[in-house]
Structure 1
Amino acid sequence: MKKKFILLFLGLSLNSCSQQKDEEVTTTVPPTPTPVLKDIFLADPTIFYNEGTYYLYGTTTGNTPLNGEGFQVYTSTDQKNWKGPVGAQGGLALKKGEAFGSQGFWAPQILKYNNQFYMMYTANENIAVATSSSPLGPFRNTSKEPLAASVKQIDPFVFIDDDGKKYLYHVRLTNGNRIFVAELNDDLLSIKTETLTECIAAELQWENTQNANWPVAEGPTVLKKDGLYYLIYSANDFRNPEYAVGYATSKSPLGPWKKSTANPIISRNLLKINGPGHGDLFLDKDNQWQYVLHTHYSITNEAPRKAAIIEMNFIQKENELQLEAKKDSFRFLKN
């Protein structure tokens, strides 16, 4: 009888241990899967920083959602974790039908002026201006008219100098894509035509690697440092793998401009990625210059183009202050 009791006790103990192990297995919480981040497909990108938030805009590209419907916007507080599109109109900050343009919504720029947010942009190969009370939109152009011009014009960039004068850098389609500048009137809706001046044309070998009859210089963005103006631009057709970025300097916002001997400062040779270019330079919350740009999708496909970012620094070299891209900082933007 004693042996039977011992065996029964052992059986119950083993059964209890087995049940406890089963319970431990079934209650184990599986590890949280790492979220898969996806590339952000935007061309001609720009980043606007306002009150702790970065806003990313650009040209929709390839067969992506909302393509041709306006301008998407993404947001981030650290430039690494992006949310969006989060524009006020179904992801769009500017929506077709509520501002000038029916097609070809390209190359937006955002600025804050007189307590309003302005979007300078291209549509129908013309430059237009829309306004909003929020960087998320909705941006609207009540007149639904572009800036008056005798030729087609694209790629606007507004620079406001220390003296308050405003300048519109842009591309005019005349014997190639050529970069011009003109002083803007205070309403930002028209230029002082007597100040219109050509800045940059694609004339060097790196700027026209295919010897095209229509050479391309485009995507201007401008900054001022130590009394010198830096005009950053892209050259070659954007579909060309050799699309690249260079810069020129001047002592005046109207030029004349001297191209850097260090050009191109961003290229396929530097990044080992096709088609880097057409972006915007901005100062982040840590006072670090950053250049947001696009690249080709892959070695074989140009579209959809991908948004990326790279740090820019000023270095003293060859008796001048040169602008240089920090190769190791390059990364694609993802959400």
Structure 2
Amino acid sequence: MFPTAVRRFGRSAAVTAAGVLVTGLLAAAPAGADGTAPARAALVLDRDFPDPDVVKEGRTYHAYATNGGAANIQHATSTDLVHWTPVDTDPLPRPGDWAEPTRSLVWAPEVFANGRGFTMHYTARDRASGRQCIGVALSPSPDGPFRPAGPGPLVCPADQGGAIDAASFTEGGRRYLLWKNDGNCCGLPTRIHLQPVSWDGTRTTGDPVPLIGPGLPWEGQLVEAPTLVRRDGRYVLLYSADSYADHRYKTGYAVADSLTGPYVKAPEPLLSTDSLGGAVRGPGGQDVVTGPDGTDRILFHGWSPDGSDRRLLYSAGLDFTDGVPRV
């Protein structure tokens, strides 16, 4: 997703009125217009931390986010997904040589264990094409430093506007990369794609398959920021839609019985400013994480309610029934 300094469009989803059982400071919200209680989310990191991605190593959760301050990528740690400690060092001190050396253009990290260490996928501006594209870096530790791998970007469809918002999914001993072609940069359609990659994520091993594009009224002109999980034997694709820059950003989901679809979208968003009673503005950039108690959590960013130009880190409980998520 876009850096703090650059505004952009995001994700959507449908939400029911169940309260969210979370510890920490809850974002309280008034009752909805239909009399039902809105969903609730816990503010877990009161600092600008957009597009969060979380990986667990041992008992420690490592969260990574779009650039901030003096860092290409932000990093924080926790043992409970509630209390987070920011890390001062930049886990990606230098993007690949193919990327423009502009910190504000490094976005949306994705980190996973690859068996020999850790892989980071990140978005940066490609010098050759001028488009945002996805690069890859490796480290023996989730703390970094992650060092660039390969001479160029991993995914860079310049004729489709470039590629952003990498996410990883594994099944049957195979790894897949999800990404969004950044068509909204230049008046082109946007789609979320699924593409097979090597186990360490440094090579693509097959052609991308488009999964979904925009089409519902609340999605605006694009979809982005995918997260794919499998629950109850079904594939659940969470994504963001509409304008990331304000209260219109939302988190949506689509469900399929096959990895490559077809994916059927929920008609309403899972997370939205309205579904959270206005207590969180523009929820998006989500990641699904298993908590210490074995239950699912959804971590996401939302604009600070004090009106400052910050996207804060929130957490909420997440349940699945027959593959359908509920906050």
> If the length of structure 2 is used for normalisation, what is the TM-score?
0.76
Query: Could you list the runs of 4 or more consecutive aligned residues of structure 1 that deviate by over 4 angstroms after TM superposition?
Result: 97-100
Q: Give the one of 140, 146, 149 matched to 1:139.
A: 146
Q: Which runs of 5+ in 2 are unaligned?
A: 1-43, 126-131
Deviations 1:38-75 (A, max 9, x none): 712110011211100011110135xxx22xx4112111
Cα distance between partner residues in 1 of 2:193 and 2:210: 4
Alignment of 1:10-159 (within 5 A): 39-61=46-68, 65-66=69-70, 69-86=71-88, 91-96=89-94, 101=99, 102-103=101-102, 104-124=105-125, 125-151=132-158, 152-159=162-169
Q: Is the 8 A contact 1:41 1:60 kept in 2?
A: no
Equivalent position SS for 1:206: helix
1:98 is displaced (CA, Å) by 6.5
**Which gives a bigger RCO, structure 1 or 2 (Cα 8 Å, sep 6+)?**
2
Cα distance between partner residues in 2 of 1:243 and 1:270: 12
1:100 is displaced (CA, Å) by 5.6
* Number of matched pairs: 266
Q: Which runs of 5+ in 1 are unaligned?
A: 1-36, 209-214, 326-335
Q: Equivalent residue for 2:325?
A: 323
Q: Equivalent residue for 2:35?
A: none
> If the length of structure 1 is used for normalisation, what is the TM-score?
0.74
Alignment of 1:104-253 (within 5 A): 104-124=105-125, 125-151=132-158, 152-161=162-171, 163-174=172-183, 175-194=188-207, 196-208=208-220, 215-253=221-259
Over 3 Å counting, the alpha-carbon distance change for 1:96 and 1:184 in structure 2 is same
Q: Equivalent residue for 2:40?
A: none
Query: Which AA in structure 2 matches 1:92?
Result: D
Cα distance between partner residues in 2 of 1:60 and 1:308: 18
Q: Is the 8 A contact 2:167 2:178 kept in 1?
A: yes
1:189 is displaced (CA, Å) by 2.2
Deviates more, 1:138-147 or 1:46-55: 138-147
RMSD (Å) for aligned C-alpha atoms: 2.0
Name the % identity: 29
Higher helix share: 1
Over 3 Å counting, the alpha-carbon distance change for 1:53 and 1:99 in structure 2 is farther
Cα distance between partner residues in 2 of 1:97 and 1:192: 23
